[in-house]
Amino acid sequence: MMEIEKDMEVEGSHILTRQKTPESEKILDYDYKKCAGCSICVELCPKKALQEGPLLEIAKGLDAPPVLIDLDACVFCGMCVNFCPLKALQMTVLEKRPVTEAAGKAAAQI
């Protein structure tokens, strides 16, 4: 089965979540300073990988992300990215090999 590696790091206000497979690298970039805590993403995440943070405290001035990401649960489907009204979530996909070429090779092998 395909190996999937995941990690997470924080750069300033950006929480970078990464998924690496032999084919691609997907980076989910969550800039929590842009996030207004509307929780649309929490509602629609099909894997329930997103969770509301301490919204009340944040409203009172706590410096914390309004949405928490569960690294194990997230499958990098990108649905949250597509629906975020403030573009606080962004996804970058790095293809290691161009898909078309790979498909062509596979077809040639058959």
Partner 1 sequence: MPIGVYVCHCGLNIAGVLNIEELKSFAEKLPDVAVARDLQFSCSDTGQEQIQKDITELKLDRIVVAACSPRLHEPTFRRAITKAGLNPYMLEMANIREQCSWVHMDQPAMATEKAKDLIAMAVAKAALLRPLEPESIPVSKDVLVIGGGVAGITSALDLADAGLHVYLVERRPTIGGYMALLTDVFPTNDCSICVLGPKMSEVFNHPNITLYTYAEVLGVEGSVGNFSVSGVRRARYVDPLLCKGCINECAGVCPVEVPSEYDFGIGKRKAIYVPYPQAVPLAACVDPKACIGCARCVEACPTKAVKLEQEPEDFKINVGAIIVATGWQPFDASRKEEYGFGRYRDVITTLQMERMQNASGPTKGEVVRPSSGQIAQSIAFLQCVGSRDATVGNIYCSRICCMASLKNAQLVKEKYPETDITIYYIDIRACGEGYEEFYVRAQRLGINFVRARISRIDQVDGEIFLVYEDTQSSEIKRVKHDMAVLSIGLEPDQNADVLGNLLGLSRRPDRFFEIAHPKMRPVEAHIDGVFIAGCASGPKEIPISIAQGSAAAAKAIKLLHKGVLELEPTSAYVNQDLCVKCKLCKDVCPKKAISVKSPAYVDEAACKGCGSCAAACPVDAINMRLFSDEQIMAQVTAATAVKREFPLIVAFLCNWCSYGAADLAGTSRIQYPTNARNIRVMCSARVDPSFVLEALRMGADGVLIAGCRLGECHYHNGNYQALQRVNVLKGVLEKIGLDPGRVKIVWCAASEGEIFAKDLRDFIFELKAIGPIGTELKNKDNERGKVGKKEIDAGTREEAGTVIEAKAENVAGTTGREPAP
The one segment of 5-13, 17-25, 50-58, 60-68 that binds partner 1 by CB under 8 A? 17-25
Is 90 one of the binding residues for partner 1 (CB under 8 A)? no
- Positive or negative: CA dihedral 83, 4, 6, 52: positive
Q: Which is nearer to partner 1, 71 or 99 (CB)?
A: 99
Cβ neighbours around 109 below 10 Å, total: 6
- Shortest CA distance to 20 belongs to which of 36, 38, 9, 6? 6
What is the smallest separation between the CB atom of 41 and partner 1, expressed in angstroms? 13
Look at residue 13 and give its three-state secondary structure: coil
Cβ neighbours around 46 below 10 Å, total: 9
* Residues 63-82 interacting with partner 1 (rule: CB under 8 A): 75-79
Positions that interact with partner 1 (CB under 8 A): 1-2, 4, 21-24, 46-47, 75-79, 99, 102-103, 106-107, 109-110
